[in-house]
Amino acid sequence: MPTLPVLSGQETVRVFETLGWKVARQQGSHIVLIKVGHAATLSIPNHREVAKGTLRSLIRSAGLTVDEFAAALNTRHHRP
């Protein structure tokens, strides 16, 4: 299982956006994401660093594995 890097809230949102999630609203210090056909919403803390446990929980809620999230992160970082 790959280790998760330290990501900010904004970086986390961008990775989920590459996976089809859309920003629904900003609610206080959190960014709420939705995805058509998905019952769950993701509430991402808009902090400088998202805790690894929080990130793992968000990945699970999105119905993803850590490997799938890491692949999306790597794809995002290698785009021209």
pLDDT digits (tens, 9 = 90+) for 20-79: 999 999 989 999 999 999 899 999 999 999 999 999 999 999 999 999 999 998 876 544
* Tokens (6 digits) for 62: 């999105």
On whether the CB atoms of residues 18 and 76 are closer than 8 A, the answer is: yes
Q: In this predicted structure, what is the pLDDT of residue 47?
A: 95
Q: Homologous superfamily of 9-77 in CATH?
A: Hypothetical protein. (3.30.920.30)
Q: In this predicted structure, what is the pLDDT of residue 2?
A: 66
pTM of the predicted structure, to 2 decimals: 0.88
- Residue 3 — pLDDT band, cuts 50, 70, 90? confident
Residues in Cβ contact with 40 at an 8 Å cutoff, skipping those fewer than 6 apart: 61, 62, 63
Q: In this predicted structure, what is the pLDDT of residue 4?
A: 85
